[in-house]
Amino acid sequence: MALSGMRGLSVFISEIRNCQNKEQERLRVDKELGNIRTRFKNEKGLTPYEKKKYVWKMLYIFMLGYDVDFGHMEAVSLISAPKYPEKQVGYLVTSCLLNENHDFLRLAINTVRNDIIGRNETFQCLALTLVGNIGGREFAESLAPDVQKLLISSSCRPLVKKKAALCLLRLVRKNPDVVNVDGWSDRMAQLLDERNVGVLTSSMSLFVSLVSNNHEAYWSCLPKCVKVLERLARNQDVPQEYTYYGIPSPWLQVKTLRALQYFPTIEDPNTRRALFEVLQRVLMGTDVVKNVNKNNASHAVLFEALALVMHLDAEKEMMSQCVALLGKFIAVREPNIRYLGLENMTRMLMVTDVQDIIKRHQAQIITSLKDPDISIRRRALDLLYAMCDTSNAKDIVEELLQYLGTAEFAMREELALKAAILAEKFAPDLSWYVDVILQLIDKAGDFVSDDIWFRVVQFVTNNEDLQPYAALKAREYLDKPAIHETMMKVSAYLLGEYSHLLARRPGCSPKEIFGIIHEKLPTVSTPTISILLSTYAKILMHSQPPDPELQNQIWAIFSKYETSIDAEIQQRAVEYFTLSKKGAALMDILAEMPKFPERESSLIKKAEDTEADTAELSAIKSRAQQQASNALVVTGQQPTNEPLQVTQLGMVKIPSINMENNHVDQEVAQTNGITGDVEPQNADILGDLLSPLAIEGPPGVSGTETLSEDGALALAPVGEQENAIKPIVDIVERFHALCVNDSGVLYEDPYVQIGIKAEWRGHQGRLVLFLGNKTTSSLDAVQAVILPPSHMKLELSSVPEIIPPRSQVQCPLEVVNLRPSRDVAVLDFSYKFGTNLVDNKLRIPAVLNKFFQPITLSAEEFFPQWRSLAAPPLKLQEVVRGVRPMSLGEMANLLNSLRLIVSPGLDPNANNLVASTTFYSESTRSMLCLVRIETDPADRTQLRMTVASGDPTLTLELKEFIKEQLISIPTASKPPVPQQPQPTTQPISSSDPGALLAGLL
């Protein structure tokens, strides 16, 4: 048996292996960890050999999945051991156990530097490896000059050189400024003259990273890259050890081909000719061979060459060669090659007009949609989506629908969205579109976002010819024994509006329609019941002459729901009941909905950004989710989502009244006369009927992505967009919305959209910036630089300099909150479109409240804490004036949306609010924060605020933060909110512990 060379370690591993079950293993590990702890405590008795052995054991235990935090220090301290064996273990284990964010690593920075600049080559290698693998920003700033010196030193062995190149690459990724471009481009060119293939491979990786940030500085390197390719392609001067199954280093070839893709074009005719010769050779000379490794390696080069050809948009002849190759690949059995064929064909569609050639392969691609491997299916779906146009939409969408029935859950949502988008975009006729959407809802109702069914209703409302057909279809679906709730909503809506058009058909009399809908009522949820009530009112209105039996039935239902616990339902029931007794007046009030103003589909609008980045499936998915959530926010129909909606709209918690007013304002304004003759007192009803369809909400209401975008877009004069590139969203408003949401659009102008998605855990956060190019040409000189405030560590992964047409790149941004502070990080984002340089400084919504974890405290928990934090600087009080007037309910919602959780009833005075949260930062760890706000019912513009926490800075910052939120007006103006009944707070009672609170304050 192979043994480790360290007896104690081997024995331990054997014992672990002999454990019969997880429990035994845990016991054995615990025993060992106990032993290691004690041994390290009495360090004096420990020989270097033992130290080394224990640190290895810890790594082994870590690999088993156990926590070895306590040993980090031991591993780090071995780095400064004088002798190689211990030092090696220290370096290696440290780089496995720690990451760049660990504080311990700072302790080692000096030793590491000394090893790098020292004369011991082995130590140099160890240090470079550690920095290359886990070096962070701090390392970048203090070590970059030394590493650069090593890299260009002539006395340095290849062994050290290649490590230095990759080490520098890491440092550049952490901070691009550590390389001074001016001086470095010549050096880089020299490095590319290197003969040693190992060093050249490492240098090429470094080069790719540098050139992706700024190709302008490296034009002189371009011919060198072509030389490298020529050397490899002709197999000149490539040592045997660097050929892999007969292919001269496929990896270096791939890297070099990749580097060339960062240059927009190749001007010099000689270089261009030389490169195309190489590319031609690769394209033509790659044969399928039996040996799988050789085959993979040669095709790795081939696919990279294809990508370069596409990038350079080569002559037609070469492009058609590529398409022919791809056509061959998507038909092969070998799954990897087929996968890559599909993937690259999708890319091909983005850069050049090859739709017609690719269409010839449609049947083949559809076969891949049914492949057992999900990876292949996803690629096939992307390609079908990309290649769809009016000529093949019917076939493709039908395939997608068919597949929807059998697809796994992971893909259904995306499939549904894509099918809906394609159906809308390329529908040969509208009745087909209606068929598709209804089928979609029928087959995958759970995965159809509200946006999708709203859209079909819009279409039907706006196209009279379509109405009888849609109603008939809806009626047919109702015959099915079990139907999805979304189908119920859309059918009920359509039948309410248009079933009278079917009246002469069998089974379509008002009575029968009512019967079949009402049958389903017991199975649907509350929001759907409201839609059904509207439908009943409409059916009643359409049954002329009135059918007394039907009338009584429906009246009975209305009166039953007059006492519903749900405010929305109750209101509808009451109003419809009263209205329906008005006879003829009903006709006007419940008349058919007016046409919707024509506008771009929110689905398609989003899809347009999505289209290009088919490779980046996750982005599509996250956007699809975003979409779904938008829909919920906009409608405000689902009670489960209501708190979200309320916080976002900053409104009081009784949605119907408020929402209606807004809708009415909106609708009256938009339809411009169509509904203008509606009497004001009926306005509420109209709004009520509208609300399930409130796809486009009032422009004044912020926080809902689609709304604000649409609104802003409509307002921006077209002419202006051409002259200067201006954002088409309200940046300030977007920032504020994102302060309380974790995903949405941060910035958008006619060319670029920046989306953000964030996840927060304790004092850390992970944001992903989605940089999307909306145009059909590429965006150049893209730069994104983070200007971090001092209390935060931010790390943005490298941003490509060019965003290809209609595609999107994702840039993860890691955030670590060091201290409490209200300062905000700024993203300096710039790009070039044509001759315009666009530069924007955008605040990043990594604000104080993102590091809150909601916590709800009981009176028993709250008061001792409140008491113990007795006086300044831990507890601060301030009278705040100029508060933006809001009801107590709104204020509570505002606090809740900031994750400051209000505990109702804790304060005896109904005009006061008490809230709590936990704040996380590296310096404070988790820290409880308590807030009390006393308002003055007579003057809503002033209040007294008391904030307490265990950290003076935190208290101060939190107080100021809340103040800002209360004073500033992040949203656009809202219609005046009618005085709302105060949310019910607990009545004061003498036994209420809140009385105690009052006493303490």
Partner 1 sequence: MIRFILLQNRQGKTRLAKYYIPLEESEKHKVEYEVHRLVVNRDPKFTNFVEFRTHKVIYRRYAGLFFSLCVDITDNELAYLECIHLFVEILDHFFSNVCELDLVFNFHKVYLILDEFILAGELQETSKRAIIERMGELEKQE
Nearer CB in complex with partner 1: 198/527 = 198
- Does 361 contact partner 1 by CB under 8 A? no
Among 51, 162, 734, 806, binds partner 1 (CB under 8 A): 162
Nearer CB in complex with partner 1: 250/755 = 250
Nearer CB in complex with partner 1: 244/555 = 244
Nearer CB in complex with partner 1: 229/437 = 229
- Does 900 contact partner 1 by CB under 8 A? no
Can you list the positions of beta strands (E) in 688-803?
743-748, 752-761, 764-773, 780-787, 792-796
- Does 615 contact partner 1 by CB under 8 A? yes
- Does 48 contact partner 1 by CB under 8 A? no
Nearer CB in complex with partner 1: 347/473 = 347
Q: How far apart are CA 848 and CA 921, in angstroms?
A: 10
Helix (H) or strand (E) segment spanning residue 816? strand 808-817
Query: Was 49 annotated as part of a binding site?
Result: yes
Q: How far apart are CA 780 and CA 803, in angstroms?
A: 7
- Does 331 contact partner 1 by CB under 8 A? no
Minimum distance from CB of 90 to partner 1 (Å)? 12
Angle at CA 912, nearest 5°, toward 911 and 913? 135
- Does 239 contact partner 1 by CB under 8 A? yes
Among 619, 683, 725, 728, binds partner 1 (CB under 8 A): 619
- Does 339 contact partner 1 by CB under 8 A? yes
319-337 burial, b if ≥16 CB within 10 A, otherwise e?
bebbbebbbebbeeeeeeb
| Contact range with partner 1 by CB under 8 A, out of 240-248, 550-558, 679-687, 879-887 | 240-248
Tokens of 479: 């015959």
Query: Was 57 annotated as part of a binding site?
Result: yes
- Does 373 contact partner 1 by CB under 8 A? yes
Among 24, 27, 65, 714, binds partner 1 (CB under 8 A): 65
Query: Was 55 annotated as part of a binding site?
Result: yes
- Does 2 contact partner 1 by CB under 8 A? yes
Strand partners, 814: 766, 795
190-213 burial, b if ≥16 CB within 10 A, otherwise e?
ebbebebbbbbbbbbbbbbbbbbb
Nearer CB in complex with partner 1: 250/687 = 250
- Does 926 contact partner 1 by CB under 8 A? no
Query: Was 56 annotated as part of a binding site?
Result: yes
- Does 82 contact partner 1 by CB under 8 A? no
Of residues 823 through 852, those in contact with partner 1 by CB under 8 A are none
Q: How far apart are CA 204 and CA 184, in angstroms?
A: 14
Helix (H, G, I), strand (E, B) or coil at 841: strand
- Does 17 contact partner 1 by CB under 8 A? yes
Minimum distance from CB of 851 to partner 1 (Å)? 16
Minimum distance from CB of 470 to partner 1 (Å)? 38
Tokens of 254: 């791939």
Of residues 163 through 202, those in contact with partner 1 by CB under 8 A are 163, 166-167, 169-170, 173, 197-198, 201-202
Nearer CB in complex with partner 1: 335/750 = 335
Pairing of strands 780-787, 836-843: unpaired
- Does 341 contact partner 1 by CB under 8 A? no
- Does 11 contact partner 1 by CB under 8 A? no
Nearer CB in complex with partner 1: 4/909 = 4
Nearer CB in complex with partner 1: 136/711 = 136
Among 27, 73, 374, 715, binds partner 1 (CB under 8 A): 374
Other residues' Cβ atoms within 10 Å of the Cβ of residue 31: 11
C-beta separation of 737 from 712 below 8 A:
no
Block residue for tokens 């690259």: 344
| Contact range with partner 1 by CB under 8 A, out of 130-138, 144-152, 820-828, 842-850 | 130-138
- Does 252 contact partner 1 by CB under 8 A? yes
Among 151, 221, 226, 254, binds partner 1 (CB under 8 A): 254
Minimum distance from CB of 270 to partner 1 (Å)? 27
The residues near 426 (Cβ < 8 Å, ≥ 6 apart) are 388, 389, 390, 393, 397
Minimum distance from CB of 744 to partner 1 (Å)? 18
Coarse DSSP helix, strand, coil percentages of the chain, rounded to the nearest 5 percent:
60, 10, 30
Minimum distance from CB of 71 to partner 1 (Å)? 11
Total residues contacting partner 1 by CB under 8 A comes to: 85
Helix (H, G, I), strand (E, B) or coil at 926: strand
Tokens of 990: 């003498």
Nearer CB in complex with partner 1: 62/432 = 62
Helix (H, G, I), strand (E, B) or coil at 650: coil
Taking Cα atoms as reference points, which of 175, 229, 177 lies closest to residue 200? 229
- Does 367 contact partner 1 by CB under 8 A? no
Tokens of 783: 């730069």
Nearer CB in complex with partner 1: 377/394 = 377
Reading phi first (left if > 0) and then psi (alpha if -120 to 50, else beta), residue 636 is in: left
Minimum distance from CB of 492 to partner 1 (Å)? 39
- Does 235 contact partner 1 by CB under 8 A? no
- Does 222 contact partner 1 by CB under 8 A? no
Query: Was 432 annotated as part of a binding site?
Result: no
- Does 814 contact partner 1 by CB under 8 A? yes
For 762, phi then psi, to 5°, come to 60, -125
Nearer CB in complex with partner 1: 386/495 = 386
**Sign (positive or negative) of CA dihedral 773, 775, 777, 783:** negative
| Contact range with partner 1 by CB under 8 A, out of 55-63, 141-149, 700-708, 909-917 | 55-63
| Contact range with partner 1 by CB under 8 A, out of 138-146, 292-300, 349-357, 453-461 | 292-300
- Does 299 contact partner 1 by CB under 8 A? yes
- Encoded one letter per residue, x for contact with partner 1 by CB under 8 A and - for no contact, window 496-535 reads ----------------------------------------
Minimum distance from CB of 92 to partner 1 (Å)? 6
Nearer CB in complex with partner 1: 418/875 = 418
Query: Was 7 annotated as part of a binding site?
Result: yes
- Does 751 contact partner 1 by CB under 8 A? no
Among 19, 46, 96, 781, binds partner 1 (CB under 8 A): 96
302-313 burial, b if ≥16 CB within 10 A, otherwise e?
bbbbbbbbbbbe
Helix (H, G, I), strand (E, B) or coil at 101: coil
461 burial level (CB within 10 Å; 0-12, 13-18, 19+): buried
Angle at CA 147, nearest 5°, toward 141 and 148? 95
Q: How far apart are CA 789 and CA 953, in angstroms?
A: 16
- Does 132 contact partner 1 by CB under 8 A? yes
DSSP 580-621: HTTTTHHHHHTPPPPPPPP---HHHHHHHHHHH-TT-HHHHH
Query: Was 453 annotated as part of a binding site?
Result: no
Of residues 109 through 128, those in contact with partner 1 by CB under 8 A are 122, 128
DSSP 7-31: HHHHHHHHHHHH-SSHHHHHHHHHH
Of residues 768 through 807, those in contact with partner 1 by CB under 8 A are 768
- Does 251 contact partner 1 by CB under 8 A? yes
Q: How far apart are CA 250 and CA 452, in angstroms?
A: 47
Minimum distance from CB of 382 to partner 1 (Å)? 12
Block residue for tokens 């509904």: 675
C-beta separation of 38 from 3 below 8 A:
no
Residues flagged as binding site: 7-8, 49, 53-57
